[in-house]
Amino acid sequence: MALTGALLLTSAPMASADAVRDAQWPLTIYDAEKVWKTSQGAGVTVAVVDSGVDANQPDLTGQVLAGKDFTGGGDPHNDTDGHGTGMASLIAGHGHGANGSAGVMGLAPKAKILPVKAPASAGTETWAAGVRYAVDQGASVINLSFGDSSAYPGSAGAEAIKYAQKHDVVVVAATGNDSGTVSYPAALPGVVAVSAVDKDLKYWSSSNKGNVTVAAPGVQTAQADPTTRSGYAVADGTSGSAAYVSAIVALLRSKYPDLTAGQIINRLIKSASFLNNEGKKAPDSELGYGIARPGSALTMNIPAGPKDGPLAQASPPTSTTSGSASKGNDGTNPVKNEKKSSSGSIFLIAGIAAVVVVIAIVFAVIRSRRNRGSGGPGSGGGVPPQGTGYPPQYPSGHQPYPNAASNQGYPAPAGQQPQYPNPYTQQPPRQGQ
């Protein structure tokens, strides 16, 4: 299996837990203390499909559920890579020490983390099984901070994501870090594809472009890392950006439990902003519909919108439905049977219609001759004039995608159905947090 953006995280260890909180600039940008007065993600389960999550990490104690290891090791809490624990800390860390003043605070500190140990390196089939497991365990948000070029439409990974979307789960994925086009699975229809911005809210140049949904902090983000001596690291990558957006989705799902996954995504998109990025027009190839803003997403007056939400949806299967529901009791196709049983009636009706047409023609000819007296042939001719519909003009089977011009010249990866997000006519605001 080939991987796209296999290394979605570059990190450096931090000196101490006390220095971590000061380094968490995204919490300052987002005015997290104010956000938490509205929602902290309580009652929401976020599945982190990754390298596992260390449940003993001080900032995550009590937040990590049992989960499952799909790699054969048997322990989803054994994270020898550190990546999964880092993502979990950005989502649901609660800090530690006096008043939780040390360590990592996640943006949704009361959300629960479902660890699904199934990194992209284990293969598409493996993490796809992990996605399905997360859905069946009740996760309403799934974080995929990795790239897998084998997760193209029709693959096991794509089908697992469709399964999640069918069960009203929001799937969030990192766009990738190789300055290329948005990688799979972020490139799949309906997935919230997240690029990265830095402390100045400017686009991170290594972040992948194309059909981006929103952007979020992903440069110099402080997070837990059980593989370092201090237990923490500062990292660059769209992995962290995706984790922050997963946290925002958790905040929204907690406050608006009656909204569908698509309607949650609608709030996420409609509240995004191009703050500090003048001249951008949505959808932008780098920032999508803007930088995700939790405070605005939680409090803005945004119509719920259609249940499916604004993102393009996956195409239905082209093959016929299998199983007993598609066949009659005798195993035959009921549609074919219907055609056979109605064929006699069709021929009878056609015969009657032909007789009526002949009579009408004869009547018209006789009447025409009477009107002209003994005149010669009429001047009408037998060839219909241009523009009368002959020969029949069949509509083209290729309809343009909405916002087709928004691809900004970045080609979709091979085999990809282009995903052109097409939110409603309401334009998101461009100021504030």
Catalytic residues: 50, 83, 239
User: What letter represents residue 402's amino acid?
Assistant: P
The H-or-E segment that residue 197 falls in is: strand 192-197
Break the chain down into helix, strand, coil percent, rounded to 5. 30, 15, 55
What is the 8-class DSSP label of residue 391? S
User: What letter represents residue 345's amino acid?
Assistant: S
* Cα(143)–Cα(243) distance, integer angstroms: 6
What is the 8-class DSSP label of residue 370? H
Mapped onto helix, strand or coil, the DSSP state of residue 9 is coil
What is the 8-class DSSP label of residue 162? H
Residue with tokens 């979307």: 165
Q: Which residues contact 19 (CB under 8 A, 6 or more apart)?
A: none
**Taking Cα atoms as reference points, which of 87, 408, 65 lies closest to residue 237?**
87
* Cα(412)–Cα(407) distance, integer angstroms: 9
* Cα(275)–Cα(273) distance, integer angstroms: 5
CA of residue 276 relative to chain centroid, distance: 26
Strands 221-224 and 232-236: antiparallel
Strand partners, 115: 48
* Cα(334)–Cα(331) distance, integer angstroms: 9
Q: Which residues contact 248 (CB under 8 A, 6 or more apart)?
A: 107, 108, 216, 268, 292, 294, 297
Strand partners, 181: 209
